[in-house]
Chains A and B, each alone.
Chain A
Amino acid sequence: MLVRTNDNLRLKFEHPPALSAGVNVFPVASTSFAGEVARTSRGAIDNGFAAAKHLGFYERIHRNDARMEPIQKLMAVPMRAGQFSFAVVEVGRRGATAAEAGPDFAPSDLGRLAEVCEAVAPTLSRLRPRIT
């Protein structure tokens, strides 16, 4: 999960804990999957994520663990407080190949993820700490 920094201009990984340590931050305005979801406040699916150009930041996610395979498929939805997207929740499927990663994410998956995020957003928004 990525959360907007206090100035609302950047996104920072807050979960999993291994990624929240250090400076795992990038501008919301950057060309990135999560950045676009935050900017547009709309969910997205990329079932060809491993083949697409993306921030080197994402490569670090699996370099933290040599055994971990690359993210092949990714979906993300905004977490909103009112109309404002204060966080982005990403769910990925990993594998050596797209086929090994499992089934493609479908629009119905995005809907289920959005439903969960909508339910927990009020509490998470209230608990959200100042992130610089």
Chain B
Amino acid sequence: MGTKELAAALEQIGAAGADDKAWRKALAVVAEAIASLFGVPP
């Protein structure tokens, strides 16, 4: 996932609601993307 696609995915998560569930989901998506970028476990 490219940086722009990642930012768009997060905006979509944020648009659905700004609660703890959205926060956790956003963190998980970012962690997955970064882990994939550097070849490390999330």
Does A53 sit at the interface, judged by CB under 8 A?
no
A109 to B39, CA, bound (A): 12
> A127 and B30: CB pair below 8 A?
no
> A116 and B37: CB pair below 8 A?
yes
Q: How far is the CB of A20 from chain B (nearest CB, A)?
A: 8
> A109 and B38: CB pair below 8 A?
yes
Contacts of B11 in A (CB 8 A): 123
Interface residue range, chain B: 20 to 34
Main secondary structure of the interface of B (DSSP, over half): helix
Does A128 sit at the interface, judged by CB under 8 A?
yes
> B37 and A112: CB pair below 8 A?
yes
Given A15-B31, A16-B31, A115-B3, A123 and B37 touching (CB < 8 A)? no
> A91 and B40: CB pair below 8 A?
yes
> B31 and A120: CB pair below 8 A?
no
Partner of B27, one of A15, A109, A112, A119: A15
